């Protein structure tokens, strides 16, 4: 589909004025919000534990931080939809977005993105300046550095995009401890390193869609073999990180190390798979479970 046809398709559907809840949730990417709130809360919880702050006396901060983060993330996702409305019709996984189907006009999507970002940032700044600034930086990294620039122009787009995805735990931590203890930066680093192997595996599964949309993802530009090597290298970089997170406890360090080794072993087994996509799917599913288990366990190990 050419850009002119996409523009025509969009303009023909601009008359719709009613945005359903389903479309709104798709627009703000509620799934991404939920996963990022897990890491935001974990950062917040660990800061509360390390500083021996009372959780109950911090409920107002918890509320402002989580809701503010959700709004900022939703706003950035809406702006991403607004910017990507020219390439989304070319990809199977994005062709049903409200900006593609015409259920949400570009102007409405842009307004929603700006309003949510302003409201969310206001709540984060109400917590403290550091939290607000980190929230705004995360939004800028996703919308500016990733969506507007790297996604369209460089094969390193996934690494650049990992910056914004690593910000949520910092937001949560800064809400309690604006000084940002070294452990907060380890959470940031953990999230940053986790994302390339996760998204490279996804890109392998969706390689033809990215190729059709002209997005220079690693498997599109360099092929599957190079992508596999990159995935394995990034997973290997996770190995030493638990040893710098002793404040969470030895139990967490053991669990994290086992998960890291398991992911690396699975990655190194790629030669056993006749179908690259099957291997990529297993790596992708492992990465999702890895992140959930790891961050939930951080909370559990600091409670016992």
* Residue 64 CA, distance from chain mean position: 20
Residue 211's CB is within 10 A of a number of other CB atoms, namely 15
pLDDT digits (tens, 9 = 90+) for 202-242: 999 999 999 999 999 999 999 999 999 999 999 999 999 99
Whole-prediction pTM? 0.91
In order of 45, 71, 163, the CA distances from 170 in angstroms are: 11, 16, 11
pLDDT digits (tens, 9 = 90+) for 148-176: 999 999 999 999 999 999 999 999 999 99
Tokens 């030669």 found at: 271
- Token duo for residue 144: 């500016």
In the chain, beta strands by DSSP E: none
- Token duo for residue 160: 């650049």
Burial 162-171 (b: 16+ CB within 10 A, else e): bbbbbbbbbb
pLDDT digits (tens, 9 = 90+) for 48-96: 999 999 999 999 999 999 999 999 999 999 999 999 999 999 888 888 8
Tokens 């939290």 found at: 131
Alpha-carbon distance of 210 to 217, in angstroms, equals 7
Residues 69 and 40: beta-carbon distance below 8 Å: yes
């Amino acid at each position: 589909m050419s850009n002119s046809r996409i523009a025509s398709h969009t303009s023909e559907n601009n008359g719709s004025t009613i945005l359903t809840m389903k479309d709104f949730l798709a627009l703000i990417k509620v799934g991404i919000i939920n996963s990022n709130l897990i890491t935001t809360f974990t950062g917040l919880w660990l800061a509360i534990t390390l500083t021996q702050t009372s959780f109950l006396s911090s409920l107002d901060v918890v509320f402002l931080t989580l809701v503010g983060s959700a709004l900022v993330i939703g706003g950035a996702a809406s702006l991403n939809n607004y910017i990507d409305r020219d390439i989304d019709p070319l990809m199977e996984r994005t062709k049903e977005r409200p900006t593609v189907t015409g259920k949400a006009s570009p102007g409405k999507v842009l307004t929603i993105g700006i309003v949510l970002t302003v409201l969310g940032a206001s709540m984060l700044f109400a917590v403290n300046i550091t939290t607000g600034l980190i929230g705004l930086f995360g939004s800028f990294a996703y919308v500016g550095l990733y969506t507007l620039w790297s996604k369209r122009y460089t094969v390193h787009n996934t690494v650049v995009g990992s910056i914004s995805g690593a910000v949520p735990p910092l937001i949560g931590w800064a809400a309690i401890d604006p000084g940002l203890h070294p452990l907060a930066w380890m959470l940031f680093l953990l999230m940053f390193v986790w994302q390339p192997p996760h998204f490279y595996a996804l890109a392998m599964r969706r390689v033809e869609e990215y190729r059709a949309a002209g997005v220079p993802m690693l498997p599109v530009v360099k092929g599957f073999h190079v992508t596999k090597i990159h995935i394995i290298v990034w997973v290997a970089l996770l190995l030493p990180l638990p040893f710098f997170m002793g404040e969470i406890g030895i139990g967490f360090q053991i669990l994290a190390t086992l998960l890291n080794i398991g992911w690396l072993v699975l990655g190194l087994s790629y030669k056993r798979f006749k179908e690259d996509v099957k291997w990529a799917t297993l790596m992708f599913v492992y990465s999702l479970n890895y992140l959930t288990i790891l961050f939930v366990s951080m909370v559990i190990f600091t409670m016992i």
